């Protein structure tokens, strides 16, 4: 048994079987890490042939990270909706905010490296800064919030970029070298960047709604797979149908002299503002309602599969290397960017050999580290920097002698967006 924060901040006992839920989330996060590897160092998926397999990771890996960020945000605060405002809720929010604030400068620093990668960490920090008030919402409210934001966010983005003086930015992941003040940084992270909060928060809210559920329940896990599949078909299939029947000709004319696909893939984060018909596409990183629904479906279905795979002890043993990568995802993400910058420049080529090398090394090193030193260095640093201020906020009168107000979860606030608080199972 282990303790979990209840709805009013009190500690309640949680069964040890929750471990299966935790490692299932870790495996899903590890797959997101490997998907990032595929996007960053794998072969160009637009060259054709077997390399098109990599296309499946484009847009979906980063969306999965954002989705799991929402899951971990809820697990970190105790799973049940927060009630009122007391020392325990204050401590939980303190930990969330500190970790969010730390991710922004880390992301800016990594973006300054010579990698050619659009670093997402600074955007993640803003997601957390904007999403924490939703910790007081229940599952139904979070589902409605995610659905409404998925519908209206892309429209708002299109209208704001059309009416404002932001221009039609194709790539933007800010670093310290791009600093033009906090206002410009906020505009990039929220609207004009490659992972803008205005169209990415639905992933976080959807993950928060999922984190409220009984993730160890077999019926829930199976429902994730079924509902996720349905959402993926609705998003991607719905877009295909609308484009084929209604907007395809308009898009082709607007894209001239380039093809529709070429124009979409020449940008990351949003669609062109030349014609609202672009809001009907669903390619990765387009930030349309169709893409958001489809990517949430993929993330939900994949989470259901990883939770199912980790129900049996044999599954946890076989998947242990992936569990280790997921538990150290922030460290892995940071390390792979440093490796690209110093030793494996993308100008030298993106190949299957390089992708396999990054994957094998990550699996081996993370498995070894986790079973010897347990926490990854970045996860440990985030824990130390956030846990002590939260402990001070909570005060000395801690129920059950607990040092944490969270409901558990090895990915409580790190792993690209959350640091692992215990590595027995990010």
Residues 232-285 pLDDT 10s: 999 999 999 999 999 999 999 999 989 998 899 888 999 999 999 999 999 999
Q: What is the pLDDT of residues 162-210, one digit of tens each?
A: 987 776 777 889 999 999 999 999 999 999 999 999 999 999 999 999 9
N-to-C CA span, the chain: 20
State the Cα torsion 178-179-183-185 to the nearest 10°: 50
Q: What is the pLDDT of residue 238?
A: 98
Q: What is the pLDDT of residue 411?
A: 38
Q: What is the pLDDT of residue 395?
A: 82
Q: What is the pLDDT of residue 410?
A: 35
Residue 37 maps to a domain: yes
Q: What is the pLDDT of residue 236?
A: 97
Q: How many domains does the chain have?
A: 1
Residue 186 maps to a domain: yes
> In terms of Cα–Cα distance, which of 6, 12, 131 is closest to 78?
6
Q: What is the pLDDT of residue 219?
A: 97
Please give the backbone phi and psi of residue 2, each rounded to the nearest 5 degrees, phi first: -140, 160
Exposure string for 157-196, b = 16+ CB within 10 A, e = fewer:
bbebbeeeebeebeebbbeeeeeeeeeebebbbbbbbbbb
Residue 133 maps to a domain: yes
Residue 360 maps to a domain: yes
> In terms of Cα–Cα distance, which of 39, 37, 33 is closest to 55?
39
Q: What is the pLDDT of residue 161?
A: 93
Residue 424 maps to a domain: no
The SS3 assignment for 256 reads coil
Half-sphere exposure of 380 (CA within 13 A, CB side): 8
Residue 425 maps to a domain: no
Predicted model pTM: 0.88
| Ranges under pLDDT 50 in the chain | 1-21, 49, 397-426
DSSP letter at 190 equals I
Q: What is the pLDDT of residue 20?
A: 40
Structure token digits, residue 332: 């892995």
100 and 128 Cβ atoms separated by less than 8 Å: yes
Exposure string for 333-352, b = 16+ CB within 10 A, e = fewer:
bbbbbeebbeebeeeeebee
> In terms of Cα–Cα distance, which of 337, 344, 343, 333 is closest to 379?
333
Residue 426 maps to a domain: no
C-alpha distances out from residue 145 to 205, 271, 303, 403, Å: 7, 23, 21, 32
Structure token digits, residue 415: 């792993």
Structural domain of 308 = 2-401
C-alpha distances out from residue 251 to 31, 256, 391, Å: 33, 9, 55
Residue 62 maps to a domain: yes
Residue 169, beta-bridge partner list: none
């Amino acid at each position: 048994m282990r303790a979990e924060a209840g709805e009013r901040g009190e500690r309640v006992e949680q069964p040890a079987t929750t471990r299966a839920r935790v490692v299932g989330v870790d495996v899903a996060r590890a797959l997101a890490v490997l998907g990032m590897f595929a996007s960053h160092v794998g072969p160009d998926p637009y060259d054709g042939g077997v390399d098109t397999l990599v296309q499946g990771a484009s847009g979906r890996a980063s969306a999965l990270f954002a989705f799991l960020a929402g899951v971990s945000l809820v697990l970190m605060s105790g799973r049940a909706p927060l009630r009122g405002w007391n020392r325990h809720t204050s401590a939980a929010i303190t930990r969330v905010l500190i970790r969010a604030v730390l991710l922004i400068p880390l992301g800016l620093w990594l973006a300054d490296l010579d990698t050619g990668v659009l670093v997402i960490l600074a955007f993640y920090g803003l997601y957390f800064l904007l999403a924490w008030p939703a910790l007081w919402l229940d599952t139904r409210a979070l589902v409605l919030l995610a659905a409404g934001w998925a519908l209206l966010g892309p429209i708002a983005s299109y209208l704001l970029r059309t009416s404002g003086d932001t221009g039609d930015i194709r790539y933007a992941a800010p670093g310290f070298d791009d600093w033009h003040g906090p206002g410009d940084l906020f505009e990039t992270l929220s609207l004009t960047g490659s992972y803008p909060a205005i169209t990415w928060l639905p992933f976080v809210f959807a993950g928060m709604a999922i984190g409220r559920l009984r993730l160890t329940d077999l019926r829930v896990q199976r429902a994730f797979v079924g509902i996720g599949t349905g959402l993926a078909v609705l998003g991607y299939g719905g877009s295909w149908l609308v484009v084929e029947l209604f907007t395809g000709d308009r898009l082709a004319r607007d894209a001239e002299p380039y093809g529709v696909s070429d124009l979409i893939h020449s940008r990351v984060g949003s669609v062109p503002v030349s014609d609202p018909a672009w809001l009907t596409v669903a390619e990765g990183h387009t930030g349309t309602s169709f893409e958001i629904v489809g990517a949430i479906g993929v993330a939900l279905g994949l989470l259901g599969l990883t939770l199912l795979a980790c129900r049996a002890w044999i599954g946890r043993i076989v998947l242990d290397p992936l569990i280790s990568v997921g538990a150290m995802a922030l460290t892995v993400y940071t390390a792979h960017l440093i490796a690209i910058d110093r030793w494996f420049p993308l100008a030298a080529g993106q190949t299957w050999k390089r992708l396999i090398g990054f994957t094998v090394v990550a699996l081996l090193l993370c498995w070894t580290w986790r079973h010897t030193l347990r926490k990854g260095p970045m996860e440990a640093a985030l824990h130390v920097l956030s846990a002590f201020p939260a402990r001070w906020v909570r005060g000395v009168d801690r129920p059950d002698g607990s040092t944490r107000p969270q409901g558990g979860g090895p990915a409580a606030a790190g792993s690209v967006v959350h640091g692992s608080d215990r590595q027995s199972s990010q």
